[in-house]
Amino acid sequence: MPSTQRLRIGTQIVTILIVQGPHAAGHVSGGDLSARFESLVRATGQALSVCTCGGLRELVARVRAAKAEGTDFMLLAPGDLTEEARAHPEAGLDDALEALASPYVEVHDDSGAAVERADGRHGAPLATIVINGDLATSYRIALGIALRQLAA
């Protein structure tokens, strides 16, 4: 079961969802993300939920659940699961992203890690943020995009 940390603002449960796959040691963890972005997200009146997934099946299930939860924006950082998602399209990540009702931004720390989409699919991200070797900065930029989109 993926671990989820939530910030609750008033009656709003989730506005921005960060779905994170496993990353190499030394990268930003789910708890670190909540701590780093809590004041920024609260200042805009939004809520944040961070979900760390240990495998591709969990990641796909979490993306699918985002629609049912009414997530307004998602940051997707598949991390070490990117290659597995490419090798196993039958796992359904493309389908889950295509069914997602909200926009999302992909977050990476390696330029070769972006998730490739099948031609003609509508599940493309609003943006893909890659700061080689600096996942925390990639998250900061992606969160800025999310907050601007939600404010518009």
CA atoms within 13 A on the CB side of 139: 26
For residue 92, the tally of other CB atoms under 10 A from its CB is 19
pLDDT band at 12 (very low <50, low <70, confident <90, very high): very low
Domain tally, the chain = 1
Percentage of the chain with pLDDT > 90?
A: 36
- The pLDDT assigned to 73 comes to 95
- The pLDDT assigned to 31 comes to 65
Domain with 124 in it: what CATH number? 3.40.50.9100
Instruction: Express each pLDDT in 117-138 by its tens digit.
Output: 554 455 789 999 988 888 888 8
Instruction: Express each pLDDT in 74-84 by its tens digit.
Output: 999 998 898 88
Taking the C-alpha atoms of residue 141 and residue 146, their distance in angstroms, rounded to an integer, is 9
Quick one: how many helices (H) and strands (E) in the chain?
5, 6
Cβ-Cβ contacts under 8 Å for 104 (sequence gap 6 or more) = 73, 74, 75, 76, 97, 125, 126
Q: Which amino acid appears at position 152 of this protein?
A: A
Which 3 state secondary structure label does DSSP give 106?
strand
For residue 116, the enclosing domain spans: 3-151
